[in-house]
Structure 1
Amino acid sequence: MVLATQPALFDPYTNARRWIDDYHAHVASGGDVLCGGDETPWLAMFEELATLVGDDLAHARERVQRHAADIGTGFRVTGENEERPWPLSPVPLLIESDEWAAIERGIVQRADLFETILADLYGEAKLVARGLVPAALVAGSPFFLRPLVGLPPPGGHQLHFMAVDLGRGPTGEWRVLADHLRTPSGAGYALENRLAVSRTLGGLQARLNVARHAPFFAAFRDGLAASCNRTDPRIGLLTPGNYTVSYPEQAHLARYLGLLLVEGADLAALEDKVYVRTIGGLKRIDALWRRLDARFLDPLAFDTHSQIGVPGLIDAYAAGNVVLANAPGVGVLEAPAWHAFLPQLCLRLTGASLSLPNIATWWCGQPSECARVEEDLDNLLIAPAFGGGTLGLPTDSPVAGSDLDAAQRTALRADLARRPQDYVGQEIVRLSTMPVVAGDTLVSRPFTLRVFAARGPDGRWVVLPGGFARIAEHPDPRAAVMGEGIWSADVVVHGNTPVDPVSLLPPTDTQHIRRNPGTLPSRVADNFFWLGRYLERGEALLAVIRVMLGNSIDADGGAALSSDTIGRLAGLIASTGAAPRPSSHKRADLTQMARHAMESVGQGWHSVAEINLHARRIGNNSRDRLSADMVRLLDAPFPTHRGTLDRAGSLQRRYAAIAGLSAEHMSRTAAWRFHDLGRRIERALAMVRAILTFGLAGSSLDDLSTLLDLADSQISYRQRYLTGLARVPVVDLVALDTGNPRSLAFQVERIWEHLCALPVLNDDGMAEEQQQQATELKAIVSSARAGTLDGKMLSELEARLIGLSNEIARRYFLQGAEPLRAGGLTLA
């Protein structure tokens, strides 16, 4: 009898049905999206989940989180430097297509209304003149940019992309909680959520006819292109940098949409046009999807203290030569105070009511509304009217009046009397709930929904079918705010009509073939160059540490190295600035030095741990061009093995894995060339210094064995020479043998090849300075003889390598104060 019923226990339908029934039994109140509607799509979704994980819901959560991590999804909380994994629920929010159509109509109506209002505020200002909008609501906003009044936006539109936060009430109605117009974030997370959930619930697409995301992003990209003056425009995503909280999302969007991910330092304004600084000179850029606050865009037009903007950008904007999405100044409509006026404005301007109403809002800048807020304080949220901080509230976020203590109420009332225009009162929103996995069960949690709209190539608005849901950790039904303890969920719009497979990729037979990988900004080249140098520097330092602690493969060497050789190894470590010299050559002192050289952080020493931090920062800043595996290795924590040698070995294997990824998985683009160029210069310098320390006339056998260890050439030497160690053959192998991938000569050959392949600025056929220096270096090394390679020549080679590195930086890494009219800089 037991055997007969066993299969049913693991049947996907049975598990799905049990999950839903258990959920029904524990949901105490109404307003839940699963309990209050058609269960059929939810049953299909849970069947897909049960097919994958059986009856183990905890495993479902772990699995979707693993997929999100594989994609590279992450975020930061304001004030934190470390990136957190993106918190994704395996259970998506399901919305039927007819319900979604109503939401879509409301979002489009709202976007058109905003465009009309913005055109008036920065144009004729009739709304203020006629008394429909209080002047203080405009002029009092920190996001109203007076210098842009009367300036028509290039492309004809103020808004190109927007986001709206929605709350679903207990009876199923949707209302607007907030608008995001300045630098709307989250679309990349919606895309990443869909990718992760699709990998988890692969069959859901066909079962529920899920609306796809790709057409929305394609329409937005094409819409930006259509607003530019050139037929084949260059479009960038302007980011504040890798320390912004949503930088991983920005990198993912840039990669997905095929946009250049640029920072302010990458751009230059010249003769009312905007250019990106590239390794091939200045290249024209036509549009910027900005994630940089408007106040920091141009220090000549707005905040003069901005270090991350582009001087002259607004002049180019005013001349109509660069499209900014969104236009600077649109953030004026983000203020919560506008919610008090939008219903009437919509009626006056469109003749219709808002399809998606706001939460009820009272602006305290009007005496009667202020009195009402004060009278009904316990039943309202009190919020800053313009989104910033106020003196009368304990935080910058909305606060329930009932949560304020006596002292806080006194402070609020006092500031309301002084500056009532700084406050709004809003109704407290009670939210619907949805199922989320907690442990191994389903629980109900309140949620909000962020929806995105973009302007397509025909100028009309397109709404992303879904967006992403934000889920509160606790069952408090008031509106959730993204932060610690909050989960996200994919949002699935489903219907009865089959959905055609759509991708951002064009039809396979229509795309024009190109093998040019595109523009490489100078900053990115700089990052890749120094990523290569740091990785190689860390590997070389680890090699010295391991040899010093006795990790030679030579059975007669290693731990038995002479005191002189040990002293030279310790001196080599000290010369890199990784650690102070040890007080003696005793094992304990050497181990202490090695530990310091590996693990010291924040003390001014150039340890392996510090080198790893530099490499990690560069990797995070270039994640739009690095594989997820590479980023994961760079982000990996420092090893915690008990023994110093074990930790060193673990790090060495990690460096080897990164080197393998770059050698075998990176396309041979200019970015890879700079990465490998950095490696080769750093390895060449390490080899020169090792030969200077261990390979000059008078070197002992221990010195020569150590030199072979540092060059990873013990086996190569033993295969070649059976009579033992001799200085000249050792030096020839590690310095001049072009077949040895660790030798100095091999590095110099690769450096020369890379510089010959990289672009030049002139068209006269003459070598540029960095190419000339590489040719001279190659000639010196190729004509050298091991027997006459002395300290003077090696020191000269070291100086030449350092000079070549500086010349590469001067020529290719055009940033900061680099003269825009420097000779040879091309404009394209």
Structure 2
Amino acid sequence: MASRAATSLFDAATIADRWIADYCGHVPESDVLCAGGRDPAWTALFEELAALSGDGLAVARERAQRHAEDIGTGFRIVDEGEERPWPLSPVPLLIDKSEWDGIAAGISQRAQLLEAVLEDLYGEARLVAEGHVPASLVTGSPFFLRPLARLAPPGGHHLQFVAADLCRGPSGEWRVLADHLRAPAGAGYALENRLAMARTLGELPARLNIERHAPFFAAFREGLAAACRRAEPRIALLTPGRLNPSYAEQAHLARYLGFLLVEGADLAVLDDKLYVRTIAGLKRVDALWHRLDPRLLDPLALDSHSTIGVPGAVDAMAAGNVVVANAPGAGLLESPAFAAFLPRLAEVLTGRPLALPNIATWWCGQQAERDHVAANLDSLLVAPAFGVAPLGLPGGRAALGTALDSEARAALLDDMTRRPQDYVGQEVIRLSTMPAIADDALVPRPFMLRVFAARGADGGWTVLPGGFARIGEHPDPRAAVMGEGMWSADVCIHGPDPVPPISLLPSDDTTQLRRNPGTLPSRVADNLFWLGRYLERGEALLGLLRVLLGHSISADTGAALAADTVARLVRLIVASGAAPEPKGVKRADLTQLARTALEGEEDWYSVRAINCQARLIGAVSRERLSADMIRLLDAPFPQRGVLLDKAGSLQRRYSALNGLASEHMTRTDAWRFHDIGRRIERALGAIRFLRAFGGPDATSDDLSTLLDLMDSQISYRQRYLTGMARIPVLDLVTLDANNPRALAFQVAAISAHLNKLPVLSDDGLAEPQQEQARGIAALLVTTNATRMDDALLADLETRLIRLSKAIARRYFLQGAEPLRAAGMVLA
């Protein structure tokens, strides 16, 4: 009996009951877990957590975080170079479907209202003429884009995708804190949170009938496609680039939705149509989901200083040839100042009040409202009216009136008198709390909810069932204090009815089979080509260092290589820019040379520096590379052990990367460019090694070093039992087409790849890059090892460099020149 009682004390249900009882005993009644009595859904959630982690909540948090990192979820703080892992709480926010239906209806109503207001303000402007909206609120906003006035957006809608931040008050009511219309972010994080939570709490979705995300994203994709003119449109997601704070989310969304992930330089406008530059020429883009500040979208029509936009994009949009989501100028309604007018506009345009009210807002551009804010400063939050920092709010952050000292208060009121239109006053909101995990215990933390709505194929709005919650770091429930939040959490909508297993993927019987991997933008091909080159370059330099370390520095009985051979190794390392010329050839001098070439961080082109270049390319190629490959590229530089240990660790990493590329990348054009980059760099490295160690005066040590650097030592010894001989060594590493490290093997592989890549003409004649590769191959086929002298090697090196440039000129971005190249494909 005692044993059975002890067992039940620690089963999942008992642990969950204890967690909930302890938590509800010291939190406010407004907390979502404890409000209105215990919800069985929360009990089920904590039973799943207990089954996962036993009595230790920290285990659940670590597991959820690990799953988020495995998926590749990350974000970047502005002005930070390194990406941070996405902070995920293992405790999702649970909302009953009956409550959520009211939220979703309110969001749909709000999206319809925002669309109607934008249509009017960029159209006939009757709301201004009739006095419902002050003219200065529109024309004085930095988000009003005058070139878009009277421009009917293709597809007939300004908005395709919107987001809103919601807060739950102490009494359970939901209100809108902010709208996001310019480039709404976060849907990818909501998707990634759900994927991570499904791995962490695998039984919970079925147990609680949790609504799925896939139908929402399918509706959004179909809605964009329906707005396009062509039956099978090409849709692209325009990103500002890898330094954007949410680039990882954008890459994940593009991969999930099947959109091309493009940057401004990938796109071009020709004859009022938008194209993406690809390896097969220009390809038509029918819809563009952008994540730029809209003012940067087109430097010709909008901000002329933009270097990340697409010249002519607004012209293509005006001609009706590309759907832009959301239409530039939608951010006009994003400013806090407009929140003061939306309740009245809802009555005017829809005849109904807002189902989800705003927080109370007063725009100081009106006399009565300014006087109200000044008189009630201690009970309000003061914020920039248009997101631009006014003089009275240094840094541009909203400020609680009670938090201002006398000097700051005087400066604020003084500037509010001079430029009242720059300020809004807002009520101070107290947020509900939800459970989070800190120090292996449940603690109450305030939260905000970001929700998303997308226009479907029928023109109506679909609301994502959930979203993601941002959880505050501190217990203070005031929204102004919470900031951006410390953690995120999945938001699960649960109900009594089973949820069908819907996927974004179409069913087997409706899917048209295809083995064409789709469009490959030139920039992506360029990145993959150079990723291959950098990885091979780093491995070649590492090979030099391993030979130097293993045969001359680390030998217990003195140098194993002759001094002349060591000197040649040193010259190659110095010539690569990896380290400065050593003072001498003593062991200490060579050790310092190797250390700088391996891990030097400043001024030297070390292995570490080469790895950083490869890592940067990996960061902008997330949608094309596997998670394992990204993890290896992002792995920190080895810190433990002596130099030879670090070199060995790096060599294993290079081998793993090579293996992933060789065995896991589908044999598409993307893989071909990656492999071409590797082959060109390996061939150039082989020529440098041959010129250094394969000359007529080569010693046995030189030839043995050459075989080590070319990874051909075993092959030579199996083939020749009589010791080192120069001509057999040269034949093996240059002309043997069966040796995967030989020069001839690299050239043959390059030529085979180029023959399978797209060409621009239909005449069947070879393009320049194909001709050059065949010329190099013919030169190698028609020679023999006895004629392999320095002049021939120098000629081969020049030809390979010329070939690399020809490949770049044909396939990679070269400014505007390819737009009108003869034979360019326009499809």
Q: Distance in 1 between matches of 2:515 and 2:373?
A: 63
Within 5 Å, give how 1:525-536 maps onto structure 2.
Answer: 525-536=525-536
Q: Residues of 2 paired with 1:283 and 1:799: CA distance?
A: 34
Alpha carbons of 1:441 and 1:554: their partners in 2 closer, same or farther (altered >3 Å)?
closer
Distance 1:666 1:73 in 2: 22
Name the counterpart of 2:332: 332
Secondary structure of 2:34 counterpart: coil
Alpha-carbon distance in 2 for matches of 1:810, 1:342: 53
> Identity over the aligned pairs, expressed in percent?
67
Partner of 2:706: 707
CA distance in 2, matches of 1:162, 1:200: 29
Q: In 2, Cα distance between the equivalents of 1:221 and 1:227?
A: 10
CA spacing shift, 1:556–1:23, aligned 2, 3 Å? closer
Separation (CA, whole Å) in 2 of partners of 1:30 and 1:138:
42
Tell whether the 8 Å contact from 2:220 to 2:454 is kept in structure 1 after alignment: yes
Contact 1:737 1:745 (C-alpha < 8 Å) held by counterparts:
yes
Summarize the alignment of residues 1-400 of structure 1 with structure 2, pairs less than 5 Å apart: 2-27=2-27, 29-37=28-36, 38-400=38-400
Q: CA deviation at 1:2?
A: 4.7
Q: SS at the partner of 2:652?
A: helix
- Give 1:797's aligned residue: 796
Alignment correspondent of 1:746? 745
Whole-angstrom distance in 1 between the partners of 2:673 and 2:520 = 11
The residue aligned with 1:721 is: 720
- SS of 1:436's partner is strand
Contact 1:470 1:480 in 2 (8 A): no
Question: Residues 805 and 526 (structure 1 numbering): CA distance in 2 closer, same or farther, change over 3 Å?
Answer: same
Structure 1 segment 541-690 matched on structure 2, within 5 A: 541-550=541-550, 559-603=559-603, 605-690=604-689
In 2, Cα distance between equivalents of 1:458 and 1:726: 76
User: CA–CA distance in 2 between the matches of 1:7 and 1:625?
Assistant: 49
- Give the secondary structure class of the aligned counterpart of 2:819: coil
CA offsets 1:486-534 (integer angstroms, 9 cap, x no match): 1000000000011100001111222110000000000000000000000
Letter of the 2:244 counterpart: T
> Relative to structure 1, is the Cα distance of residues 483 and 713 closer, same or farther in structure 2, using a 3 angstrom cutoff?
farther
- Is 1:788 the counterpart of 2:787 in the alignment? yes
More displaced stretch, 795-804 vs 645-654: 645-654
Whole-angstrom distance in 2 between the partners of 1:376 and 1:568: 79
Checking the alignment, whether the CA contact within 8 Å between 1:472 and 1:480 is kept in structure 2 is no
- 2:774 is matched with 775
| Mapped contact 1:557–1:705 kept (Cα < 8 A) | no
Contact 1:550 1:559 in 2 (8 A): no
- 1:423 is matched with 423
Cα deviations by residue, 1:592-628 (Å, 9 ceiling, x for unpaired): 111111122232x211111111111100001011111
- Aligned equivalents of 2:485, 2:328: Cα separation in 1: 33
Distance 2:510 2:389 in 1: 53
- What's the secondary structure of 2:507's corresponding residue? coil
Q: Give, as a single letter, the amino acid of the residue that structure 2 aligns with 1:145.
A: L
Contact residue 182 and residue 328 of structure 2 kept, 8 A: yes
Please report the TM-score for the alignment, with normalisation by the length of structure 2.
Answer: 0.98
C-alpha displacement of 1:557: 11
Question: Match of 1:521?
Answer: 521
- Go from structure 1 to structure 2 and tell me whether the alpha carbon gap of 1:781 and 1:2 turns closer, same or farther (over 3 Å shift): farther
The one-letter code matched in structure 2 to 1:277 is: R
2:151 counterpart SS class: coil
Shift of 1:5: 2.5
Indicate if the aligned counterparts of 1:446 and 1:480 stay in contact, CA closer than 8 A: no
Q: Taking structure 1 as reference, are residues 110 and 267 closer, same or farther at Cα in structure 2, changes over 3 Å only?
A: same
Query: Is 2:475 aligned against 1:475?
Result: yes
Provide the C-alpha distance between the structure 1 equivalents of 2:513 and 2:483, rounded to a whole number of angstroms.
44
**Aligned-pair RMSD on alpha carbons?**
1.5
Q: 1:427-466 CA distances to partner (integer Å, 9 max, x unpaired)?
A: 0010000001112111110000000000000000000000
- Aligned equivalents of 1:567 and 1:194: distance in 2? 58
* CA distance in 1 between partners of 2:323 and 2:557 (Å): 66
Shift in Å, 1:820: 1.1
Question: Using the alignment, how far apart are the partners of 2:404 and 2:222 within structure 1?
Answer: 49
Greater shift in the superposed pair: 253-262 or 627-636:
627-636
CA distance in 1: counterparts of 2:245 and 2:137, whole angstroms: 29
Q: Which moved more, 1:394-403 or 1:383-392?
A: 394-403
Q: Work out the CA distance in 1 between the residues paired with 2:429 and 2:125.
A: 33
CA drift of 1:555 comes to 10
CA contact (8 A) 2:428 2:480 kept: no
Per-residue CA distance 1:122-179 (angstroms, 9 max, x = gap): 0000000111000111011101001111110000000000000000001100000000
Cα distance change on mapping 1:483 and 1:518 into 2, 3 Å: farther
- 1:337-377 deviations in whole A, cap 9, x for unaligned? 11111111101111100000000000100111111101111
- What is the CA deviation profile of residues 57-78 of structure 1, one whole-angstrom value per residue up to 9, with x for unaligned ones? 1000000000000100000111
Asked if the contact 2:296–2:309 (Cα under 8 Å) also holds between the matched residues in 1, the reply is yes
Q: Within 1, Cα distance between the matches of 2:551 and 2:222?
A: 58
Residue 403 of structure 1 corresponds to: 403
Q: Distance in 1 between matches of 2:507 and 2:570?
A: 61
Any gaps of 5 or more consecutive residues in structure 2? Answer: none
- Aligned in 2, Cα 1:485/1:562: closer, same or farther, shift over 3 Å? farther
Deviation at 1:818, TM superposition (A): 2.7
Letter aligned with residue 254 of structure 1: A
3-state SS of paired residue (1:546): helix
- C-alpha deviation, 1:15, in angstroms: 1.0
Question: 2:448 is aligned with what amino acid?
Answer: T
1: CA distance, partners of 2:298 / 2:716: 60
Query: Aligned residue for 1:818?
Result: 817
Distance in 2 between residues matched to 1:313 and 1:387, nearest whole Å: 25
* In structure 2, C-alpha distance between the alignment counterparts of 1:635 and 1:16, rounded to whole Å: 38
Offset of residue 733 of structure 1: 1.0
1:813 is displaced (CA, Å) by 0.2
Shift in Å, 1:293 = 1.1
What letter matches 2:767 in structure 1? E
Amino acid at match of 1:142: P
- Contact 1:383 1:398 (8 Å CA) reproduced: yes
Classify the secondary structure of the residue corresponding to 2:396: coil
Structure 2 counterpart of 1:789, which letter? M
Report if aligned partners of 2:385, 2:424 keep a CA contact under 8 Å in 1: yes
What does residue 413 of structure 2 align with? 413
Within 2, Cα distance between the matches of 1:176 and 1:635? Answer: 39
Equivalent residue of 1:26, what SS?
coil
Does the 8 Å CA contact 1:736/1:786 hold for their aligned counterparts? yes
Q: Check 1:214–1:558 CA distance in 2 against 1; reply closer, same or farther (3 A cut).
A: farther
Q: Which deviates more, 435-444 or 162-171?
A: 435-444
Question: Post-superposition shift, 1:405?
Answer: 1.1
Does structure 1 retain, via aligned residues, the 8 Å contact 2:337–2:385? yes
Shift of 1:642: 3.1
Distance in 1, matches of 2:429 and 2:729, equals 77
Which runs of structure 2 are paired with 1:477-492 in the superposition (5 Å)?
A: 477-479=477-479, 486-492=486-492
How much does 1:481 deviate? 7.9
Instruction: Please tell me whether residue 496 in structure 1 is matched to residue 478 in structure 2.
Output: no
CA contact (8 A) 2:181 2:331 kept: yes
CA-CA distance at 1:480 after TM superposition: 6.4
Q: Partners in 1 of 2:649 and 2:581 — Cα distance? A: 24
Paired with 1:809 and 1:788, the residues of 2 have a C-alpha distance of: 31
The aligned amino acid for 1:709 is: D
Q: Which amino acid aligns with 1:662?
A: A
